[in-house]
Structure 1
Amino acid sequence: MRERSIGWPTFVALFAVLLLLGLIGWLFNAPLEMIGVGAAGLLFWHYQHMRRLSSYLWRDKRFSPPDGAGSWGVIYDGLYRLQQRNRRRRKDLAKLLKRFRQGAEALPDGAVVISADRTIVWSNQLAQRLLGLRWPEDAGQRIDNLIRHPDFVRYVSNAERSEVMVLPAPGEAMRMVEFRMMQYDNEQILLMVRDVTQWNRMEQMRRDFIANVSHELRTPLTVVQGYIEMLEDPQALPPEMWQKAHGMMLEQTRRMDSLVSQLITLSRIEAAERSDLDHEIDVPSLLNIISEEAKALGAEKAMQITLEVESGLNIKGDLMEMRSAFSNLIFNAVHYTQPEGEIDIRWYSQNGNACFLVSDNGDGIGAEHIQRLTERFYRVDRARSRKTGGSGLGLAIVKHALSHHSSKLKIQSSLTVGSTFSFVIPAELVVKK
């Protein structure tokens, strides 16, 4: 739109109209009266346009201003141009606000903007989920009225913004969240919220792992060290004790060797992003070998081990990992089943999948322990596990080995009834001959 303005031509035109009316009035001997009539008409015309402008500004919902001529046409055109400019600015601001909100929603952490008096100005959806905020109902509410934990109240009241605080999430005691405050501007504060539940759990597992490894190695090392110190003075050890000392040191050395071997196996499986699934595993032959080893292991208990295998049912996968999975489950059944107990081993196909199952009629496992059995070093009965030589790593190895083969360990157990451990290998890894 071409720029227009009220200048001298408008004034000259107005003066010419009044002069013309004066000349006409002079012809009729009434110049002042004609000029007065013209001025009154001009005032009425301006009044009409002013009324239309007032109505447009306060009551009219149209975007375009009224039509007008002369100087009022210039004013209306200027208003229309100003409206267009403001509309473009609003669109630009709306796009900028949309991009800001999209960026804030894409943040991996929750974000809450609070004012100096701790009222909530804005928050993204992740913060709303982590803190249980309702939006927009909680806009303008004090955040320390919604999150009433005493430590949090002290934290948001503290002028020091560099501190980090970890607290249970509101309404979810098992979920831990980390709070970090930073100055947003002179009047507002940005509160960042991060879910650190998994990090805390992994850190606790790391501490437990170090403590358990230290404990498991300290016991056999103490035994071996004690006998070695006795051997420094051969006269102090009677001949009949030599055989016992030799047997105990050998047993504890084997125990440490088994623990280290299982740690290496578990570390290797965990470190591998994926297993080589291109090799075919002859599972029936592998299970026959492991079952014979299990029979030899449980020979003193006079156990009845039954093996039911579907011939020709092979899978693609990592032989070492799957052997560890099969052997750990079967040997565990042997270790934790009472003398003259029964163990059933099955390998069969179902709906195109390959299924493995090992069940026993042992003491069983309490329901409160089942969810944690695959944690490293977790054992239901530490004394009994130490007696059987268990390290608490076997089921952790099974869990990770199966995860590399798109499978998951299932555990069913009842006290005094027995236990069943099973898993399913998906059809895409099954090879039938």
Structure 2
Amino acid sequence: MKQKIFLYYLFLIITVVFVAGFLISELSQKYYKDELEKNLKNAAHLIQFQLAENKKIGIPIDYNKSAQQYASVLFPQDISKLSSDKNYFRVTFIDKNGKVIGESEKDYQSMDNHSNRKEVQEALKWNIGRDIRFSKDMKMDLLYIAVFLPSDGVITRVSVPLVQIDKINNIIMLYTGIGVLIALVLTTILAFRFSNMITKPVNELIKVTRDISEGNFSRRVNIKCDDEIEELANTFNSMAEKLELSIAEMNEKNIKFDSIINSMINGVVAVDNQFEVILINSVSCEMFGIKNGPGVIGMNMIELVRNNHINNLLKESIEKNEPYLTEVVIGPPDDKILRIYTSPIKTNTTEQLNAGGLATIYDITNLKKLEQIRTEFVSNVTHELKTPLTSIRGFIETLKSGAIDDKSVAVKFLDIIDIESERLSSLINDILQLSEIENKTKDSDISSHKINNTVKEIYDMIQGVASKKNVQLSFEVEENITITANKNRIKQMLINLIDNAIKYNIDGGTVYLKVFKTEGKINFIIKDSGIGIDEEHIHRIFERFYRVDKGRSRNMGGTGLGLSIVKHIVNLYNGNIKVTSKLGSGTEFIVQLPA
């Protein structure tokens, strides 16, 4: 503040001094120019009068000689003799066409036409003209006065440099500088005196206020000056005490309230009658993809949550003062199913029905998905079980009807019943295995074993199946790779992937398995030259009972659970699996498990 007071005083005094100096300078220049212009007009009229008299008595006029004579008579002619207290006087005669016919300083015959000069144009129009122009020769402004005598058709122009203006400006600048120095001294004395009286208690108030704003509510001011500032300090201390108590109570309540609201697993949003948000918890922000922060409170609900269904339901609950329930889907990218309960906020007064609306939000996405999975699973299991059971029952009925007496037919039907029974057994085993893996968070029977030994066992088991399909197996396993896992799970994962690669291969095709370790992960690559998978099916092949070609899969004995089991085994060991495939060009599975 001291600096501001000093600068204000300095600015005020310097401004006054400069304004006064400017006005004096302008008035002096105006007075000087007016007097000089008046003298030049008189001189020009005098020259014209004398020339007119000489012409009347018959004396021939030499304008060039006359210009030199008048210039030397009225003022000194030599420029080098020009002093600060005298004016250089110049006389020029110009005809009405702008041609110079006489000049006191230059060769008039070499001079340009002057018809375009301002003072000449004004003289021709109003018999007298003036102009101020900068002279490159004298490096200063010159005042030109031109007087036109219509009877002679001659313009008499006189000019002098405005040297006195420079003197006037220099004197004014000198006194203005002196005034500024005096202003600086006076301003410094006054600023320090007044600033010490005002800024010291104000600075203490500012310091204490800053401490309070930073959370130190116990700070108080101590000012003794027997004036309004001391009264202000006492009032401030009283206010600080009340503020400290109020904020302490408020913080305690807010902490409890925020802890409760943000600990809820469900979303809560409250709005007032203007539909502005007065409360929202972190769960609601996550549900609606909102960045939680100070700017959220006070926003309009329509701008914050861009879902007309939710906003209209909440608005209707406020307007009709009734609770409502609905389910909405929000998204993308990940669609969420929300169950919304809206109700009015009750008030203790009879002046208004309610103080706004409250929305309680439940994310039931997983619940709906589980219901859908359960429904689909029951439907798929029922369908998969019904098909072989129907076939078995049909053949049994046929055998009972007399086909059992025909030995060849009976053996054929019994073989089919055996195949269907085996299929039922495989399906039930796969369902039990899938259920077992799904319910595990950590696998059992964990042991360390070498991958190449496991792969050899798989090769011996599956070589016969590959030979029947005329598919060549090619296994490449890096030496000395050890994995700590359930050996049977790893075998089951690889057998399911290789078995699929054989089943959906072409005659004379190949199945390639490569196992190697890199960056702390064991990589399994299973690549075949089979029929491939269309891109639209790739994202669904790990679903239970999902088949790209349902008829072909059943004919090959597939249950539709193999890849789902593989996916769950990979997830059980915190790994990942990728699929790349193109219709007609084979499929590649890449499994990565932590070493």
The normalised TM-score by structure 2 is: 0.55
Shift of residue 105, structure 1, vs aligned partner: 3.1
**Are 1:347 and 1:355, in contact at CA under 8 Å, matched by a contact in 2?**
yes
Q: Does 201-210 or 80-89 show the bigger shift?
A: 80-89
Pairing partner for 2:431 from 247, 263, 286: 263
User: Structure 1 residues 319 and 146 mapped into 2: Cα distance closer, same or farther (>3 Å)?
Assistant: closer
- The unaligned stretches of length 5 or more in structure 2 are 1-201, 210-219, 348-354
User: Structure 1 residues 67 and 185 mapped into 2: Cα distance closer, same or farther (>3 Å)?
Assistant: farther
Q: Does 338-347 or 115-124 show the bigger shift?
A: 115-124
The 3-state SS of whatever aligns with 2:335 is strand
Structure of higher CA gyration radius: 2
User: Structure 1 residues 417 and 234 mapped into 2: Cα distance closer, same or farther (>3 Å)?
Assistant: same
Shift of residue 371, structure 1, vs aligned partner: 2.0
> 5 Å matches for 1:200-279?
200-234=368-402, 239-276=407-444, 278-279=446-447
User: Structure 1 residues 271 and 234 mapped into 2: Cα distance closer, same or farther (>3 Å)?
Assistant: same
1:309-365 Cα distance to aligned partner (Å, 9 max, x none): 233322111122112111111111111112211111122233453222211011111
Shift of residue 421, structure 1, vs aligned partner: 1.2
What corresponds to 1:336 in structure 2? 504
Q: Which amino acid aligns with 1:128?
A: C
**Are 2:340 and 2:360, in contact at CA under 8 Å, matched by a contact in 1?**
yes
Q: Partners of 1:200 and 1:404 in 2: how far apart?
A: 24
Pairing partner for 1:373 from 528, 531, 541: 541
What corresponds to 2:262 in structure 1? 105
Answering whether residue 282 of structure 2 is matched by residue 120 of structure 1, we say: no
User: Structure 1 residues 205 and 66 mapped into 2: Cα distance closer, same or farther (>3 Å)?
Assistant: same
Q: Which amino acid aligns with 2:470?
A: A
User: Structure 1 residues 148 and 421 mapped into 2: Cα distance closer, same or farther (>3 Å)?
Assistant: closer
Pairing partner for 1:199 from 367, 380, 405: 367
User: Structure 1 residues 357 and 144 mapped into 2: Cα distance closer, same or farther (>3 Å)?
Assistant: closer
Instruction: Give the number of the structure with larger relative contact order, counting CA–CA contacts within 8 Å between residues 6 or more apart.
Output: 1
Q: Which amino acid aligns with 1:344?
A: Y
What corresponds to 2:316 in structure 1? 157
What corresponds to 1:167 in structure 2? 328
Shift of residue 107, structure 1, vs aligned partner: 2.9
- The unaligned stretches of length 5 or more in structure 1 are 1-55, 428-433
User: Structure 1 residues 309 and 128 mapped into 2: Cα distance closer, same or farther (>3 Å)?
Assistant: closer
> 5 Å matches for 1:139-150?
139=298, 141-143=300-302, 147-150=306-309
> 5 Å matches for 1:312-391?
312-391=480-559
Task: Give the RMSD, CA atoms, in angstroms.
Answer: 3.5
Q: Partners of 1:201 and 1:296 in 2: how far apart?
A: 41
Q: Partners of 2:332 and 2:422 in 1: how far apart?
A: 49
Shift of residue 125, structure 1, vs aligned partner: 3.8
Q: How many residues align?
A: 369
What corresponds to 1:89 in structure 2? 246
User: Structure 1 residues 307 and 235 mapped into 2: Cα distance closer, same or farther (>3 Å)?
Assistant: closer
What corresponds to 2:196 in structure 1? none
The normalised TM-score by structure 1 is: 0.74
Q: Partners of 1:287 and 1:102 in 2: how far apart?
A: 55
Q: Which amino acid aligns with 1:93?
A: M
1:67-105 Cα distance to aligned partner (Å, 9 max, x none): 699xxx999968844641233212321343244234433
Shift of residue 211, structure 1, vs aligned partner: 0.8
Q: Partners of 2:307 and 2:260 in 1: how far apart?
A: 29
Q: Which amino acid aligns with 1:295?
A: Q
**Are 2:271 and 2:358, in contact at CA under 8 Å, matched by a contact in 1?**
yes
Q: Which amino acid aligns with 1:401?
A: I
Shift of residue 175, structure 1, vs aligned partner: 2.5
**Identity over the aligned pairs, expressed in percent?**
23
